[in-house]
Structure 1
């Protein structure tokens, strides 16, 4: 299918964003789109600009905006070469939905969640690197450059459970118009999410609590008019408090209680009554992590359901661990400090398991009514298991949907796959529905503190009638909590929250000095003190390497005994050794380079000194004359040669050969060069004489002899220069002058003729007096 073009009016001034949710069961690509903020500013009035960009499905028909592939990305931890073929269908689907001209400006994100968090840091780094390379080199979408966040910056990374909760909080409040209105009237929703392994909460405390609370994250969003809105949000995750892991802890507690009460004379294995199973249901469970040292506690035990809702609530309540020490003045459960929640104003929306266990199990999704929910759960638990199976089979034959959830496949108490459906998945969910319903009620009311608004007088903090009236006024129904899965045709997903943040980032700021919009974790001044730490896999996972070879190491060399990783120590020691060996082999070259760098300035000064001594110009021109004109300017060589040439022309001297006054000299040295010859520490000049080849006949010169030319030599009456033998007759100059006294040097003058390239060169060495 060819991609669309921007000629279609629907694509006019439209921006796109692509996010891949790399979960444990599969990776789902979702395409979002929104109108460009500049166009909206021109088309709509000022009142409409006090909102966030309208983010929706990224396809015109709204049907092909999402695509999922299986299995999860984490399954390629040992086969990173297969990641390309795994992601190719998702990438191709995005190409066919977004015009090619808009793809370079379309951000692409692959954000991994639960499945990738379970891998070792080394495996995480390998998967992320391979994923980044494929997406960057096989698409034209906008991907970040490498940064401390990962090989593709923030475009490809693993997000924490807190980040999921934070993005989910943005999505809920975006869909429920929690960001609209003025700062005084704006009231946001709290966000609750529960999965199989963890549960999360994200909400904005009251103004009074924000001043006392710590560890709040700053969420900044930019409205269409360019102004920003700020929210201080608390978010936390309780690991081990999802429905599946809570059930595992529950099974271990029942086994320990049973083993402690059984008599030593009892040899036969008896069953354990379980009030959280439907009546007469028999299942076998093995504790995942038995707390008891008894050998019997580690065996598989038989559980028989009694179907008592009240007893199930009582048995699951201790799992909240509300007696754990609280580091602050206020904790909810398991010793986690949470700001005080004002349920008079705060409203919460629950997704995932909150929705599955209310709507798809009891048909009570939406506004939560504790009495209705408790009645439905109590009736379900008290039913015979055979009756429950019969009703479910009848529903399947009539095509009345299926049970909700992630389609988890469980083996031996461990979730091995998700996204699968059929009796193998739906039957275990029916078995655990009574427990899940009781666990959700305890988390909501005993853990988080959501009031049971139908209780007479309410709870200790809020009156039931007052909360009911407020909820009805705001259109939420009676309770302070409701379970939801979507708003309109848009599902509540953390991916939507991420795209709302991205669309807000692209809105031009109202002031030039405004800070750019970034992810909340990137807005923390000191990430080391933050309660939410981003997941940044290291380059090497030394602990994983050591674990793979630990069976070959003596116990005294393990990191638990040494206090540090011996593998890391050997690695860094090897790096230091190789580096030291390389430095030793290159020591002479390094020393020479250092000396050359240090002495560079002195070398240039020395070269300039040599050039001046040899009568050469520092700029590469003719050698300077020692004399100056009356105006103080230096005489050039042409000023000396031209009068001599005119004099020779007047006397009738002609020669086809070059004039003997033509001075041949060595090429001038450039800056940074130095003279290759130093005969004596005394200053010396080398003057080339007139050309005198071996083939030159005596009649070629006026007197039949070659006359040497020395600068500053006087001219004789006949026009010829004074010979070498007449140097001593030159008038002596003043001893106070800086010029050379040649008469005093004549007896010591050493003259020699040197043949160089067919020329005789007379070298006269002298020293200053």
Structure 2
């Protein structure tokens, strides 16, 4: 079937979204659509805008909006090369029914559930990576960029049981108009979901409980008029409390109880018979204690369960499976298995159950819809007490007459061509397990969740399912406390619908640009140790999976149970630390030289700072007279002398001997002080200042002259005059050479005529 064309009126202003529900038995593509909110706002015939966008099937007619492939994507955990061929039909179906021009703006999600949760984290990561690569590079649909959620962001990932419950809660309240109304007029429905492996609950607590609770999830949705509705929802899941896993635990417990009551003198038969009240009368099934709590107390050999057909005894024997005695956190309320749940006010909270709640009520008993526990238990008691042979005769007759009901679907080439029919592989197991499932649902609803039993004081024999709503209204309870449902109109209640309601709500323009964009509830959640939901993020390394492969090769003393920690993780970290030590040992010489260079550089920077402050010459770090053991005071005292000695002994420049003739020079005797002094300042202080009366007449012309090392000499070899020296010294206070006059200021020189000769090499000789 070609995609709709632009001339199609139904397509005008229509938006699309697609979800692949990757379950344990298969993956189902579901296409949804809704009208663009901008066009709806501008339509004068649109009606009230205080509702959410209308999300409906993504095709105009037929069941083409849904397409399923088998088996589950989790079966490719060890063969990711087959994922491309597995997903190709789903992707082709989506391209066929969504216009090509709209595909780039159509979000496509593949959200995996229970089957993928059972894989190891490494297998999960490999399957998600292969799926992301195929969807991103073989379609034009909108796929999220990489994020902490995965390589395709939130478009391809594994969702938790809590997320399923949260999306289901949105779907139920969307279909039941739970988001319509304002203030106290708006009452949302609670959501109950039970599958084969787990069961979930999601509901909005009362106002007082919302103020006290800290583990609620904020759900933000935007109406067509731009206003937002906010709800705080509690959601949790019980793993292992679905019908199939509960049955496995029940079988193990029943066999163990039978073994414990058997007399030791009784011979052990190869196949033992165990009475089972949760099977129809005289039904015989051969099973093994798959999940027995004490597997070593008895061999896991087959046992034949023989049905006794007692629904009342089945209720009693399945009740301990709820684990009501499990410890509950202090100052909190728990329902069963020690799971905290805020108190539920059933006079105001009304629940809708899907999946097994619907199947176990409607397909055998015909009691789907408003729930009455008395009528339900009566139907279950009658069914369980019937002979299995009688049940099979009625089943065959119903099938021949085409009256067999059920949720089964007949599919051809992935298309649903008929509904309400069961295949033999589904019909018979359903009839076999109906008695147990009915007892399990009653216990979960009333003993587990705490739903009150509504009993008619006038007698229960007249209660009928279609009168429950009217009866509840007459008792002042309003809507039925609980009802099982499968669809509203032609839209099935599914968590995928709730996901699409969120996506449609995100596309509604807000009233103000300052309003933050809508996010999935879990994307807005800051995950901590006490978060109500923890996302599934496959880790980089899966030590548990490695241990599972190596446990049979290890002795019992090296297991996690014996050591108290993971030996595989311990060896891994020891290996990492060992590799780091080995690399550092091989690079020890380079590391040592690098540390030395850094150390010398720091010493040079410190000495350079001192030299710049005192106008000392700057040298390479190798010639520094400083060492870490030298105190700061000794550095201040010795640095000028060492700098002078280095200056006088420099081979780069050796000036000729200098003669200074003094005729009764009034030179003061200055005492050497450890206080830091500048040699340039000492040059001008004792000699060049006129107020001191210090002159050095030249022997030839009587002019006062002095030689400044490092300064230019005039033609003819004459020295720079004192005036020039004064001006030069004022311009060259940062000169790298030392003036001898600074030395003269630190000596006691005779006032008589004397001649001082500075010999090469730095020695001094006086002549009188």
Instruction: Determine if the TM-score, normalized by the shorter chain, exceeds 0.5.
Output: yes
Q: Which of 692, 715, 730 is the aligned partner of 1:743?
A: 715
Q: Which residue of 1 aligns with 2:662?
A: none
Unaligned runs of 5+ in 1: 408-418, 459-466, 607-679, 683-732, 748-766
Q: Which residue of 2 aligns with 1:388?
A: 391
Show CA shifts across 1:214-254 (max 9, x none): 31111111112222111111111112211112222222232
Alpha-carbon distance between aligned partners in 2 of 1:260 and 1:509, rounded to the nearest angstrom: 66
Q: Which residue of 1 aligns with 2:696?
A: none
The answer to whether structure 1 residue 17 and structure 2 residue 20 are counterparts is no
Q: Which residue of 2 aligns with 1:620?
A: none
Aligned-partner SS, 1:521: coil
Show CA shifts across 1:569-605 (max 9, x none): 4444555566676678788999889989x99xx99xx
Q: Which residue of 1 aligns with 2:114?
A: 114
Q: Which residue of 1 aligns with 2:629?
A: none
Show CA shifts across 1:667-700 (max 9, x none): xxxxxxxxxxxxx978xxxxxxxxxxxxxxxxxx
Q: How does 1:40-51 map to 2 (within 5 A)?
A: 40-44=40-44, 48-51=48-51
Q: Which residue of 2 aligns with 1:132?
A: 132
Show CA shifts across 1:713-737 (max 9, x none): xxxxxxxxxxxxxxxxxxxx9999x
Alpha-carbon distance between aligned partners in 2 of 1:220 and 1:277, rounded to the nearest angstrom: 46
Alpha-carbon distance between aligned partners in 2 of 1:681 and 1:575, rounded to the nearest angstrom: 56
Alpha-carbon distance between aligned partners in 1 of 2:324 and 2:299, rounded to the nearest angstrom: 25
Show CA shifts across 1:363-389 (max 9, x none): 111111223322222221121111111
Q: How does 1:326-405 map to 2 (within 5 A)?
A: 326-327=328-329, 328-401=331-404, 403-404=406-407
Check the 8 A contact 1:453/1:479 in 2, yes or no: no
Deviates more, 1:56-65 or 1:140-149: 56-65
Check the 8 A contact 1:344/1:470 in 2, yes or no: no
Quote how far apart the aligned CAs of 1:342 are. Answer: 1.2
Quote how far apart the aligned CAs of 1:105 are. Answer: 1.3
Alpha-carbon distance between aligned partners in 2 of 1:473 and 1:91, rounded to the nearest angstrom: 52
Quote how far apart the aligned CAs of 1:344 are. Answer: 1.3
Check the 8 A contact 2:404/2:421 in 1, yes or no: no
Alpha-carbon distance between aligned partners in 2 of 1:594 and 1:36, rounded to the nearest angstrom: 69
Q: Which residue of 2 aligns with 1:648?
A: none
Q: Which residue of 2 aligns with 1:85?
A: 85
Q: 1:265 to 1:546 in 2, by over 3 A?
A: closer
Alpha-carbon distance between aligned partners in 2 of 1:367 and 1:420, rounded to the nearest angstrom: 23
Q: Which residue of 1 aligns with 2:316?
A: 314
Quote how far apart the aligned CAs of 1:331 are. Answer: 2.0
Aligned-partner SS, 2:221: strand
Check the 8 A contact 2:309/2:386 in 1, yes or no: yes
Check the 8 A contact 2:22/2:110 in 1, yes or no: yes
Q: How does 1:139-178 map to 2 (within 5 A)?
A: 139-178=139-178
Aligned-partner SS, 2:131: helix
Q: Which residue of 2 aligns with 1:709?
A: none
Q: How does 1:282-293 map to 2 (within 5 A)?
A: 282-292=284-294
Q: Which residue of 1 aligns with 2:64?
A: 64
Alpha-carbon distance between aligned partners in 1 of 2:275 and 2:46, rounded to the nearest angstrom: 66
Q: How does 1:221-232 map to 2 (within 5 A)?
A: 221-232=221-232
Q: 1:511 to 1:22 in 2, by over 3 A?
A: same
Q: Which residue of 1 aligns with 2:550?
A: 549
Alpha-carbon distance between aligned partners in 1 of 2:60 and 2:523, rounded to the nearest angstrom: 33
Check the 8 A contact 1:255/1:297 in 2, yes or no: no
Q: Which residue of 2 aligns with 1:647?
A: none
The answer to whether structure 1 residue 250 and structure 2 residue 250 are counterparts is yes
Alpha-carbon distance between aligned partners in 1 of 2:579 and 2:483, rounded to the nearest angstrom: 63
Check the 8 A contact 1:167/1:495 in 2, yes or no: yes
Q: Which residue of 2 aligns with 1:500?
A: 501
Alpha-carbon distance between aligned partners in 2 of 1:84 and 1:474, rounded to the nearest angstrom: 58
Check the 8 A contact 2:315/2:440 in 1, yes or no: yes
Q: Which residue of 2 aligns with 1:105?
A: 105
Alpha-carbon distance between aligned partners in 2 of 1:473 and 1:137, rounded to the nearest angstrom: 60
Deviates more, 1:548-557 or 1:530-539: 548-557
Unaligned runs of 5+ in 2: 411-419, 460-467, 609-650, 654-704, 720-736, 740-768
Alpha-carbon distance between aligned partners in 2 of 1:563 and 1:395, rounded to the nearest angstrom: 59
Deviates more, 1:190-199 or 1:258-267: 258-267
Q: Which residue of 2 aligns with 1:651?
A: none
Show CA shifts across 1:374-423 (max 9, x none): 2222221121111111111122222334544799xxxxxxxxxxx99632
Q: How does 1:719-738 map to 2 (within 5 A)?
A: none
Q: 1:214 to 1:471 in 2, by over 3 A?
A: farther
Alpha-carbon distance between aligned partners in 1 of 2:111 and 2:78, rounded to the nearest angstrom: 20
Show CA shifts across 1:402-453 (max 9, x none): 544799xxxxxxxxxxx99632332122111111111111211222122222
Alpha-carbon distance between aligned partners in 2 of 1:495 and 1:475, rounded to the nearest angstrom: 35
Q: 1:273 to 1:121 in 2, by over 3 A?
A: same
Deviates more, 1:504-513 or 1:580-589: 580-589
Check the 8 A contact 2:110/2:155 in 1, yes or no: yes
Q: Which residue of 1 aligns with 2:188?
A: 188
Q: 1:34 to 1:441 in 2, by over 3 A?
A: same
Alpha-carbon distance between aligned partners in 1 of 2:83 and 2:579, rounded to the nearest angstrom: 35
Show CA shifts across 1:495-526 (max 9, x none): 00011111112222222332222122222234
Aligned-partner SS, 2:304: strand
Check the 8 A contact 1:366/1:483 in 2, yes or no: yes
Q: 1:314 to 1:571 in 2, by over 3 A?
A: closer
Quote how far apart the aligned CAs of 1:549 are. Answer: 2.5
Aligned-partner SS, 2:111: strand
Q: 1:223 to 1:283 in 2, by over 3 A?
A: same
Check the 8 A contact 1:307/1:383 in 2, yes or no: yes
Normalising by structure 2, report the TM-score: 0.72
Show CA shifts across 1:294-330 (max 9, x none): 8557433222222122222222222222233322442
Aligned-partner SS, 1:538: coil
Check the 8 A contact 1:191/1:202 in 2, yes or no: yes
Aligned-partner SS, 1:527: coil
Alpha-carbon distance between aligned partners in 1 of 2:112 and 2:432, rounded to the nearest angstrom: 30
Q: Which residue of 2 aligns with 1:235?
A: 235
Aligned-partner SS, 1:179: coil
Quote how far apart the aligned CAs of 1:198 are. Answer: 1.3
Q: 1:330 to 1:554 in 2, by over 3 A?
A: closer
Q: Which residue of 2 aligns with 1:652?
A: none
Deviates more, 1:198-207 or 1:34-43: 34-43
Show CA shifts across 1:23-77 (max 9, x none): 0000001111111222222115897221111111112335311111000000000
Q: 1:330 to 1:66 in 2, by over 3 A?
A: same
The answer to whether structure 1 residue 489 and structure 2 residue 461 are counterparts is no
Q: When the two structures are aligned, how many residues end up with a matched partner?
A: 615
Check the 8 A contact 2:408/2:422 in 1, yes or no: no
Aligned-partner SS, 2:537: coil
Q: 1:477 to 1:300 in 2, by over 3 A?
A: farther
Normalising by structure 1, report the TM-score: 0.72
Q: Which residue of 2 aligns with 1:614?
A: none
Show CA shifts across 1:109-166 (max 9, x none): 1110010011111111111111111111111111112222112111111111111011
RMSD of equivalent CA atoms: 4.0
Deviates more, 1:251-260 or 1:190-199: 251-260
Show CA shifts across 1:628-673 (max 9, x none): xxxxxxxxxxxxxxxxxxxxxxxxxxxxxxxxxxxxxxxxxxxxxx
Alpha-carbon distance between aligned partners in 2 of 1:46 and 1:594, rounded to the nearest angstrom: 79
Q: Which residue of 1 aligns with 2:267?
A: 267
Alpha-carbon distance between aligned partners in 2 of 1:510 and 1:577, rounded to the nearest angstrom: 60
Q: Which residue of 2 aligns with 1:712?
A: none
Quote how far apart the aligned CAs of 1:744 are. Answer: 4.6
